[in-house]
Amino acid sequence: MTVQTDNEVRYEFLTFALGEEIYGMDIMQVKEIRGYEAVTRIANAPPFIKGVINLRGEVVPIVDLRIKFLDATPVYNEFTIVIVVQVHDRLVGMVVDGVSDVIGLTRDEIKPSPDFGVAFDSRFLSGLASQEEQMIILVNIEALISSNELGLIGEDAAALKEAVDSQV
Amino acid sequence: MSLDLSQFHQVFFEESQEHLDTLENGLMSLDIDAPDMELLNSIFRAAHSIKGSSGVFGFSALGQITHVLENQLDDWRKEVRRPVTEHIDEMLAVVDDLRALLASYQAGEEIDDAWVGERIESMEAVFKVAAGAQTSAAPAAAAKEESGFGFFDDEEEDDTGFGFFDESEETAYSGNDDQDHDHEGYGFFAAQTEATPEPNEANTEAYGFFDQTGDASSGGAKRPTAVASSSAKPQTAAAANSAANQSIRVNVDKVDSLINLVGELVITQSMLAMMGKDISNIRQEKFEAVVEELQRNTREIQESVMSIRMLPVSFVFNRFPRVVRDTASKLGKKVELVIEGGDTEIDKGLVEKLADPLTHLVRNSIDHGIETPEKRKQLGKPETGIVRLSASQQGGNIVLSIMDDGGGLSRQRILSKARERGMPVDDNMPDHKVWQLIFEAGFSTAEQVTDVSGRGVGMDVVKKNLTSLGGRIDIESVQGFGTTLKLMLPLTLAILDGMAVAVGTETYIVPLASIVESIQPSKQEIKTISGDELLDVRGHYWPVVRLHKAMQVDTEQQKLHQGIVVLVESGKQRFGILADRLIGQQQVVIKSIEQHYKRIDGVAGATIMGDGHIALILDLASLAKGMKEIPAMEAAS
């Protein structure tokens, strides 16, 4: 583990697995972690949008990041995890292969991601970090959720989308 | 931390809004020939409260203008001058300006001081012109000045109107102003204070906290409530006031979240009930009894939580005396407005959305419906026309009607207008179909365009707005005798009566109000037009939307005669929806999808079913748009 000096701010990330890769997202945007449950399908939605679930009275869309980013044909079982993230007022459930840890990183430990050469769209990356030989891909959840590409918001709303700040 | 007044601003804006309403309504109902002192006092208090609190918050323009208004009102109240129509008109105009000012302050806009100065001058000019030599107003106003800014102060002898959060006691008090038992006004329940004639007993009752106390001291007299209901007018008015003020302000978000939570509770409860069925020993009976108890309690909680959102329809109706007055005077007509059923309760969300359509309809009634006084005289009708605005609850619906005793709709004129516009009409159309023509976009039968209406914009918008609220509008009209517009609206926007239908493994909700009937079509009823199937039901041809196609659901039943077809009517469109089977009719709580996801074609919202799953509510209008083209709706009418 890295040693924290007095004047360094540490950012906490929840790490999760998509296939063999480890990703991280700002812990402050994670609302809860739950198991995968049956969804209600939505017509004309892209395949990675599984549908909507009832999260204590709110109708929350479920996105399978494994389909979106790995193009995988995923399995759903009792170990499938949904990370419910909250960005501003919006709630979205993200299906991942598993949740591993919460790690703290200082700004120095977060390296910029290369502009190209990675399958994961660089717009949604806020950097790379390594922990015990493992590269962690830090995801900019806000940019991801408010992007047109994910199809979570209507085009009008997308047009109004604010300039996205990187989390770090 | 220093005191941040801005946290009270919202309360101030709301309070001031209410005071302005009081002011406006008071001015409207003031009888110039015999002004009611109590009414004058309440008008004065409203103005005074605005002035006082705007001073506290530093909204000076508001205070300055209200100050002039207040001086004039004070003169009326003290009978230094008598109210005249001209002054009331000016005051109503001032109320409008104050509303605008309030909105500016609320939006944080700059206030044009020059304009404020001019406005005050123009007001003073108007008030002085007709006042003539009366000048005693000034000193009286000056004397008033010092006592005007109390914040939580309601012990003032004279100026009883300054309490910020509480008016009930004052109202009761001022009602007794001229009588010698002022002290009674401080009782906790205004209704009881003067119920009994003997001063002694009245006293004991006035301070009583509970009904029983009063009973005991007056030696088994009638229960105070009963007495109150039979007592004279001022007392009942005071009682009503104090009852109306037994309320608190709550942010709508909090209520919505409460409604949400209770909805969840209901679902959890029904899950529990389902689990209870699996218990297979001696405990089952006990368990079921407990669940039943829980069920009853949750239902009651749900009902009372829903009722928190309900507001009396008078919240909308109260603006109409003003609308009618202004519209009638602009058009030179004499109109009396009758309001009925103002205490009918309706969802807050609806109340806000009803104001515009209703205003339009009322203005229309006056402009197109009510004839000029001369014409009415010729026709042998009283010169003053009547517009009757009423509300009532009928089952799960609220019915609002706007009735006028004017000339009624002209069948000929509507038909000829329709022909001019190239609309398919014929002379034998039934009346109600003719009347519906006025809801066509751009349709106007007015002979001339007036300030108020007649430009042909409106009725279509009104109908669209009402339809979007889940309502419908009917017209009844008899030429020469008047027109009645009837609006049927759901009681609340949050709950919908729906029919649950199954397609594959999914459930969809069809709004019950749009369903004509559900049929299992026989092969003979299925016709085709170049391959597209149509249903022939008793001479009407219905195109069919296959729900499994529209919603991309896998299902084995893809033929019309295998499933069930729900025939629906949405706006002008009629079509059938093919589903696998009907699940049943139920009330559903409408949830927004767009809060966390984009709009879905063909879907109006979502709801949570008893098992915790989400079912989508169909949006028939957009579902119909998804069809290529809808062939002729009807073979013949």
Q: For B553, which of A41, A45, A53 is closest by C-beta distance?
A: A41
Other beta carbons within 10 Å of B314: 17
- The yes-or-no verdict on residue A6 having pLDDT over 90 is no
* Chain A interface includes B515 (CB < 8 A): no
Tokens for B198?
Answer: 């003997």
* Chain A interface includes B614 (CB < 8 A): yes
Best to test chain B binding among A31, A49, A54 (most B CBs inside 10 Å)? A54
* Chain A interface includes B253 (CB < 8 A): no
Residue of A nearest to B612 (CA): A54
pTM confidence score: 0.56
Q: How far is residue B561's CA from residue B123's CA, in Å, rounded to a whole number?
A: 76
pLDDT tens profile B304-358: 888 888 888 888 888 888 888 888 888 888 889 999 998 888 888 788 888 888 8
pLDDT tens profile B30-73: 877 777 888 888 888 888 888 888 877 778 888 888 888 888 88
pLDDT-flagged residues of chain B (< 70): 1-7, 129-246, 396, 442, 444-458, 571-572, 626-637
Instruction: Give the pLDDT confidence score for residue A85 in this predicted structure.
Output: 94
* Chain B interface includes A92 (CB < 8 A): yes
Residues of B in contact with A157 (CB under 8 A): 598
Cβ–Cβ gap B596/A151 under 8 Å: no
pLDDT tens profile A56-104: 888 999 999 888 888 778 888 888 899 999 988 889 999 998 888 898 8
Instruction: Give the pLDDT confidence score for residue B139 in this predicted structure.
Output: 42
* Chain B interface includes A87 (CB < 8 A): no
Nearest-5° angle of CA B497, CA B503, CA B505?
105
Residues of B in contact with A54 (CB under 8 A): 608, 612-614
Q: How many residues does chain A have?
A: 168
Cβ–Cβ gap B597/A57 under 8 Å: no
Torsion-angle region of residue B475: left (phi > 0), alpha (psi -120 to 50) or beta?
Answer: beta
At residue A97, the 3 state secondary structure works out as coil
Q: What does the DSSP assignment read for A10-68?
A: EEEEEEEEETTEEEEEEGGGEEEEEE----B--TT--TTEEEEEEETTEEEEEEEHHHH
Judge whether B66 and B55 are in contact, CB under 8 Å: no
Residues of B in contact with A151 (CB under 8 A): 598
* Chain A interface includes B608 (CB < 8 A): yes
Residues of B in contact with A90 (CB under 8 A): 595-596
Distance between A153 CA and the closest CA of chain B, angstroms: 4
Instruction: Give the pLDDT confidence score for residue B261 in this predicted structure.
Output: 84
* Chain A interface includes B594 (CB < 8 A): yes
Other beta carbons within 10 Å of A153: 21
Residues of A in contact with B553 (CB under 8 A): 41, 43
Q: What is the mean pLDDT of chain A?
A: 80
Residue of B nearest to A61 (CA): B597
* Chain A interface includes B583 (CB < 8 A): no
Instruction: Give the pLDDT confidence score for residue A160 in this predicted structure.
Output: 44
CB pairs under 8 A between A and B: 75
Give, in order, the Cα–Cα distances in Å from B143 to each of B71, B98, B159.
Answer: 11, 24, 12
Residue of B nearest to A85 (CA): B596
Distance between A77 CA and the closest CA of chain B, angstroms: 18
Q: How far is residue B452's CA from residue B37's CA, in Å, rounded to a whole number?
A: 35
DSSP code for B634: B
- The yes-or-no verdict on residue A49 having pLDDT over 80 is yes
Distance between A95 CA and the closest CA of chain B, angstroms: 16
CB interface of B with A, residues 417-436, below 8 Å = none
Tokens for B270?
Answer: 């029904």
Q: To the nearest whole percent, how much of chain A has pLDDT over 90?
A: 26
Instruction: Give the pLDDT confidence score for residue A27 in this predicted structure.
Output: 93
* Chain B interface includes A160 (CB < 8 A): no
Judge whether B171 and B45 are in contact, CB under 8 Å: no
Torsion-angle region of residue B220: left (phi > 0), alpha (psi -120 to 50) or beta?
Answer: left
Residue of A nearest to B611 (CA): A54
At residue B103, the 3 state secondary structure works out as helix
Cβ–Cβ gap B552/A43 under 8 Å: yes
Residue of A nearest to B605 (CA): A59
Q: What does the DSSP assignment read for B564-631?
A: EEEEEEETTEEEEEEESEEEEEEEEE-B-STTTS---TTEEEEEE-TTS-EEEEE-HHHHHHTSS---
* Chain B interface includes A28 (CB < 8 A): no
